[in-house]
C-alpha cells in the first residue's frame, strides 16, 4: 500500500524543497505517485501545511491538473496618487433667488393651524430665506429675488371646499385684508431691505372663489391688487398680477410656466401622470418652457424631471394637520415652501424646502 504521509527524512525533505517550487506538471505527477497522494493538489496542500514547501503557482488556480497556469505577476504597475491643489478663483456669476410660495390658506383652522400660526410661519419664511441667501452670498452675488405665488393664499368660505363653521376663523374678505395682506406686506417689505430688487408674480388659485362668480372675483387677485396699490411706486419692488390660470415668466433668461394645478382629477395620491399629460399639452400651447411650477396638492416636489424638456416643482402649504390632504392624498401635509437659485447659464441650481415651522421638520434635522 503506498504511503500517504509526507516524508520525514531530512535528506528527502531537502530534496523536495529544491524540487517542488519549480517542478513541471510531469515531475509533480511522479512525486505524487511516489508519496501516494490521490491528486497533485492534495499533495501540494499537504506539503505546504506540514513542511512549508510551496509551488510557484497558486494551488487555487485550477489545481494544476491539465490546466495551463498563468504566468506569475511579479511587479504591479506603480500607482500615482493625485494631490488636490486648490486654484484661486474669484466669486461666481450672479444668480437670482426664487421663492415659490402658495397654499397659505389664511383663516383655515386645524388642530395645529390658525391665524396666529399663519403669522408665525410667514415670519419664519423670512428668517429661513435670509439664512440660505446669506450662506450662498459667500460664493456669488444674489441681488434679485423673484417671489412666485401660485395661489390659495386664503381658505375662502366655500362649504364645498371644507370652509364650514368651525373650520375657518373669519369670512373670505377678512382672511384677505386682516391676515394675508398685512403679512405679505411685511414679508415683501422686509425682503426688500435685503435685496436690490424684489419681483412678485401673483397667480390665482381655486380657494376664495365661487364658480358662479366672474373669474376675476378671486380673493387671490384681491390680495394682489392690494399689494400693488400698497407698493405701487416703491423703488425696487414690482408686483405683477396674472389673471389667467397659468402664464410664462422669465428668470435669468429661463422660461417658467406657473399654474395652480386645480382642475386635474385626483383619486388616490398625487396624480403625477395626469399632471405630466397636462404639462405636456401646455408645453406645446405656450411655446415651450424650461421649468413648470405648481401647487394645489399640498405636497412638496422640487426639480422632478417630468420630461427631457422641462423640470417640475410643486410647493407644499403653510397648513399642518390638513384633513383635506389626509383624506385626498393619504398623507398629512408637511408645512414648507420652495426656495431655489437660477444661474444665467445653468438654470436652476441650488434648491431647498424652505422651513416655516421647525416643529414639523423630520426627526434629527435642524435648520
Q: What is the pLDDT of residue 304?
A: 87
Of 96, 93, 10, the residue nearest 51 (C-alpha): 10
Distance of alpha carbon 329 from alpha carbon 171, whole angstroms: 27
Cell numbers 403679512 correspond to: 183
Q: Which residue has the cell 401635509?
A: 333
Q: What's the pLDDT at 91?
A: 81
Per-position DSSP letters for 283-311, written without gaps between them: HHHTT--SEEEE-SS---EEEE-SSSS-E
Q: DSSP for 221-257? A: HHHHHHHHHHHTT-TTEEEEE--SSEEEEEETTEEEE
Which of 2.60.260.20, 3.40.50.1360, 3.60.21.10, 3.40.50.300 is the CATH number of 95-358?
A: 3.60.21.10
Beta carbons within 8 Å of 203's beta carbon, 6+ residues apart:
148, 149, 150, 151, 220, 242, 245, 246, 247, 258, 259, 260
Residue 226 is predicted with a pLDDT of 97
**Rounded Cα gap, residues 200 and 238, in angstroms:** 6
Q: Do the beta carbons of residue 354 and residue 337 sit within 8 Å?
A: yes
Joined together, the cell numbers standing for residue 36 give 501516494
Report which of 162, 155, 58, 85 is spatially closest to residue 114, judged by C-alpha positions.
Answer: 155
pTM: 0.76
Edge to edge, what strands does the sheet with 142-149 contain?
Answer: 237-241, 197-202, 142-149, 95-101, 336-343, 347-355
DSSP strand pairing (237-241 vs 197-202): parallel
Which residue in 56, 32, 60, 165 sits closest to 107, CA to CA?
165
Distance of CA 171 to the CA centre of its chain: 37
pLDDT along the chain (367 residues), means of 10: 66 84 85 84 83 68 49 71 78 94 96 96 97 96 98 91 87 96 97 97 91 79 97 94 96 98 78 91 96 93 88 95 72 87 96 91 57
The pLDDT value recorded for residue 66 is 47
The sign of the torsion formed by the CA atoms of 272, 299, 311, 208 equals positive
Domain(s) of CATH 3.60.21.10: residues in the chain: 95-358
For 313-359, give the DSSP string: EE---S-SS-HHHHHHHSS----EEEEEEEETTTEEEEEEEEES-GG
What's the rounded Cα separation, in Å, for the pair 241 and 248? Answer: 12
Amino acid at each position: 500500500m503506498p504511503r500517504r504521509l509526507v516524508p520525514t527524512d531530512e535528506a528527502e525533505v531537502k530534496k523536495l524543497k529544491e524540487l517542488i517550487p519549480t517542478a513541471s506538471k510531469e515531475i509533480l505527477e511522479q512525486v505524487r505517485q511516489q508519496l501516494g497522494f490521490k491528486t497533485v493538489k492534495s499533495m501540494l496542500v499537504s506539503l505546504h501545511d506540514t513542511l512549508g514547501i510551496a509551488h510557484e503557482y497558486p494551488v487555487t488556480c485550477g489545481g494544476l491538473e491539465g490546466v495551463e497556469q498563468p504566468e506569475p505577476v511579479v511587479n504591479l504597475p506603480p500607482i500615482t496618487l493625485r494631490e488636490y491643489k486648490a486654484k484661486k478663483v474669484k466669486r461666481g456669476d450672479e444668480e437670482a433667488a426664487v421663492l415659490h410660495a402658495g397654499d397659505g390658506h389664511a383663516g383655515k383652522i386645524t388642530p395645529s393651524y390658525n391665524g396666529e400660526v399663519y403669522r408665525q410661519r410667514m415670519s419664519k419664511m423670512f428668517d429661513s430665506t435670509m439664512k440660505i441667501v446669506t450662506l450662498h452670498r459667500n460664493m456669488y452675488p444674489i441681488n434679485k429675488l423673484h417671489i412666485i405665488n401660485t395661489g390659495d393664499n386664503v381658505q375662502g368660505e366655500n362649504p364645498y371646499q371644507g370652509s364650514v363653521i368651525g373650520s375657518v376663523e373669519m369670512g373670505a374678505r377678512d382672511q384677505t385684508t386682516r391676515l394675508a395682506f398685512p403679512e405679505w406686506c411685511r414679508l415683501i417689505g422686509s425682503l426688500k431691505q435685503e435685496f436690490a430688487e424684489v419681483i412678485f408674480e401673483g397667480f390665482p388659485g381655486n380657494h376664495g372663489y365661487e364658480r358662479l362668480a366672474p373669474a376675476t372675483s378671486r380673493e387671490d387677485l384681491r390680495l394682489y391688487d392690494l399689494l400693488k396699490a400698497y407698493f405701487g411706486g416703491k423703488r425696487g419692488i414690482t408686483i405683477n398680477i396674472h389673471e389667467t390660470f397659468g402664464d410664462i415668466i422669465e428668470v435669468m433668461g429661463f422660461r417658467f410656466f406657473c399654474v395652480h394645478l386645480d382642475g386635474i382629477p385626483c383619486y388616490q395620491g398625487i396624480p403625477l401622470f395626469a399632471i405630466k399629460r397636462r404639462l405636456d399639452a401646455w408645453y406645446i400651447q405656450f411655446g415651450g418652457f424650461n421649468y413648470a411650477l405648481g401647487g394645489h396638492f399640498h405636497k412638496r416636489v422640487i426639480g422632478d424631471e417630468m420630461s427631457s424638456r422641462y423640470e417640475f416643482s410643486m410647493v407644499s402649504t403653510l397648513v399642518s394637520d390638513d384633513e383635506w390632504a389626509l383624506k385626498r392624498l393619504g398623507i398629512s401635509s408637511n408645512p414648507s415652501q420652495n426656495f431655489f437659485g437660477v444661474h444665467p447659464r445653468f438654470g436652476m441650481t441650488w434648491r431647498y424646502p424652505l422651513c416655516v415651522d421647525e416643529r414639523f421638520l423630520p426627526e434629527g434635522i435642524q435648520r
